[in-house]
Amino acid sequence: MEVRGELIRVLGIETSCDETAASVVALDGERAPEIRSNVVLSQIAEHAAFGGVVPEIAARAHVEALDGIVEAALADAGVDLADIDAVAATAGPGLVGGLIVGLMTAKAIAAAAGKPLLAINHLEGHALTARLTDGLVFPYLLLLVSGGHTQIVRVAGVGDYQRWATTIDDALGEAFDKTAKMLGLPYPGGPNVEKAAEKGDAARFAFPRPMKGAAQPDFSFSGLKTAVRQAASAIAPLTDKDVADICASFQAAVADALQDRVRRALERFRSEFPDMKTPALVVAGGVAANRTIKSTLEALCRDAGFRFVAPPLKLCTDNAAMIAWAGIERLSAGLADTEGSFAFVPRSRWPLDGVSAPVVGSGRRGAKA
């Protein structure tokens, strides 16, 4: 399918975790891409009582909501299915029940409407978002920090990704969520830990900075979580002041550890692309909302001569515009395997980078991290 220079509109569908989302993104010749609609239904309320995402509840909620969300996305964009050039859906990695719902729905819509289908890697959606929002050119560095992923990826082209670091245990958002749960703060933990930390003393607890200074480029957060648990049980019952101090100290440790890991990656990027005048670091994922983390990374980039790119939060967290956009990028690059997409079976694990060795071991379904 030749798309250069003409109007192309792609319907995106995202159901890999606890957001049911659909979006229409358009690219018209050389003009900047346009998000024509971006509908996201969060399931936070359904999962809150359990302190985390329950896969079965998520899958059921996707089944119930998806048709209406797709209709809303088309209506918001003012288009019919007939106007759509292709359907792009997240096919992994993620919770397999939700992936099945999204990909099957996309297959049915594409088959019924006679449109090409694109099975998209969720991580590719995050990786390419900065080109949709900021028109970024390749190569750049991506820091993805969400509830499910903590990775540094060198993005050199559509389909050209190299993972430079990943977590060897918990994802960063998961560490925030578990810390919140331990302290009796509501789900999702990240925003509540950040709020509590505002009134806290970050110097009260000297929590570890996992992997700081390590030669291995990866992240680790489970030791920090254990240290939080030990500190909390040592002074229980906790006052509001104790909770605030633990949150502030935890956040400071996280920011410090992140800074060390990211600085290392910026240095590597510099040495691999010495001729780039202003290289860029892009952040994505829900944790990028955290102001302490954001300002730490911003300062780091300033010192290292990197441009710091943080797409609007709505497009940093899970959404379908990034999936539609990844579809447009694949079509434009001539990398759309639409026949293979119809045969594609959803993958709970699907590393973006098929080359870098898995850090935590790999199973039948591919690398774990």
Alpha helix ranges (H) inside the chain: 44-48, 55-77, 96-113, 122-134, 172-182, 189-197, 222-235, 240-272, 291-304, 313-316, 321-332, 338-343
Within 61-100, which residues bind Zn ion (CB under 5 A)?
none
Tokens linked to 160: 């050209």
Structure tokens at 268: 């590597």
Q: Which of 17, 66, 168, 246 binds ligand KG4 (CB under 6 A)?
A: 17
| Residue 341 binding target from Zn ion, ligand KG4, none, CB below 5 to 8 Å by type | none
Q: Which stretch binds Zn ion (CB under 5 A): 144-152, 247-255, 258-266, 306-314?
A: 144-152
Q: In the set 194, 242, 318, 329, which binds Zn ion (CB under 5 A)?
A: 318
Span 150-179, contacts to ligand KG4 by CB under 6 A: 173, 176-177
Specify the residue, 292 or 332, whose C-beta has the smaller distance to ligand KG4. 292
Residue range at the interface with ligand KG4 (CB under 6 A); choices 21-29, 62-70, 140-148, 345-353: 140-148
Picked from Zn ion, ligand KG4, none, the partner binding residue 98 (CB below 5 to 8 A depending on kind) is none
Nearer to ligand KG4 among residue 40 and residue 74 (C-beta): 40
Q: Does 317 bind ligand KG4 (CB under 6 A)?
A: yes
The least CB distance from residue 191 to ligand KG4, in Å, is: 4
Say whether residue 188 binds ligand KG4 (CB under 6 A): yes
With beta carbons less than 8 A apart as the criterion, state whether 175 and 188 touch: no
Structure tokens at 33: 């891409």
Angstrom distance (rounded) from CA 148 to CA 172? 8
User: Nearest distance from residue 112's CB to ligand KG4, in Å?
Assistant: 29
Instruction: Tell me how far apart the alpha carbons of residues 300 and 340 are, in angstroms, rounded to a whole number.
Output: 42
Distance linking the first and last C-alpha atoms of the chain: 33
Containing 20, the helix (H) or strand (E) segment is strand 19-28
Distance in Å, CB of 317 to ligand KG4, minimum: 3
Asked if 318 interacts with ligand KG4 (CB under 6 A), we say: yes
Least distance to Zn ion from the beta carbon of 342, Å? 24
Q: What is the residue-wise DSSP string for 70-82?
A: HHHHHHHHT--GG
Q: With CB under 6 A as the rule, give the number of residues binding ligand KG4.
A: 19
The four Cα atoms 235, 236, 237, 243 give a dihedral, to 10 degrees, of 70
Give CA–CA dist 67/299, Å, rounded.
43
The answer to whether 289 contacts ligand KG4 (rule: CB under 6 A) is yes
Do residues 94 and 148 touch, judged by C-beta distance below 8 A?
yes
Give 104's contacts (C-beta < 8 A, 6+ positions apart). Answer: none
- Strand 19-28 versus strand 34-42 pairing type: antiparallel
Closest approach of ligand KG4 to the CB of residue 71, in Å: 24
Give the residue with the Cβ less far from ligand KG4, 12 or 285: 285
* Number of residues in the chain: 369
Q: With binding defined as CB under 6 A, does residue 287 bind ligand KG4?
A: yes
Q: Which does 346 bind (CB under 5 to 8 A by kind): Zn ion, ligand KG4, none?
A: none
Contacts with ligand KG4 by CB under 6 A lie at: 17, 146-148, 173, 176-177, 188-191, 194, 285-287, 289-290, 317-318
Contacts with Zn ion by CB under 5 A lie at: 146, 318
